[in-house]
Amino acid sequence: MPQLFSADWMNELKDLWNADPDVKDKLAAINFNSVITCGIKGEDKPLGVFVVENGECVRAGDYAGETPDWDMRAARKDWMKWTQEPLGMVGLGTAYTFGKLKFLSGDYGAMIKNPAMAGPFIKSFALMAKIDTQ
């Protein structure tokens, strides 16, 4: 059972992402390219990195100084809750509004208003819930 945001965990997410047409193919359709990082709120650096080129995750693992386009942070207890009960659209809005999910990089408002990005983003939380996490 991989540790949250460890290289093993990030690579499991990569495999799930690339196998899911509702994520990979929909993002490929809009030529989505991004460096996505995840970590714990209050820490200096993110823990994991996820590199997407034309919708496909081409690299995932431990954060190694990459400049993120999206840097998502939350308390460990919230991340762990979301790996058990993934966020939907309403839960995501609530988590963002009340500061449980922070974006240190990236424009949450623009992303959530764009259905081509919002749908796959919400789906990524469902993918996280498929990983047996510790």
Q: How large is the average pLDDT for residues 91-112?
A: 93
Q: Is position 33 within any domain?
A: yes
Q: Is position 49 within any domain?
A: yes
In this prediction, residue 117 has a pLDDT band, given cuts at 50, 70 and 90, of very high
Q: 110-119 long-range contacts, Cβ below 8 Å, gap at least 24?
A: 116/26, 116/27, 116/29, 116/30, 117/27, 117/30, 117/32, 118/89, 119/22, 119/26
Q: Is position 124 within any domain?
A: yes
Q: Is position 71 within any domain?
A: yes
Q: Is position 20 within any domain?
A: yes
Which tens digit of pLDDT belongs to each residue from 20-62?
999 999 999 999 999 999 999 999 999 999 999 999 999 999 9
- Residue 15 makes CB contacts below 8 A (sequence gap 6+) with none
Work out how many domains the chain is built from and give that number: 1
Q: Is position 104 within any domain?
A: yes
Q: Is position 134 within any domain?
A: no
Q: What is the CATH number of the domain that holds 112?
A: 3.30.1050.10
Range of the domain at 109: 7-128
Which tens digit of pLDDT belongs to each residue from 52-78?
999 999 999 999 999 999 999 999 999
The encoded tokens of residue 114 equal 């764009």
Q: How many CB atoms lie within 10 A of CB 99?
A: 10
Instruction: Record the pTM.
Output: 0.93
Q: Is position 133 within any domain?
A: no
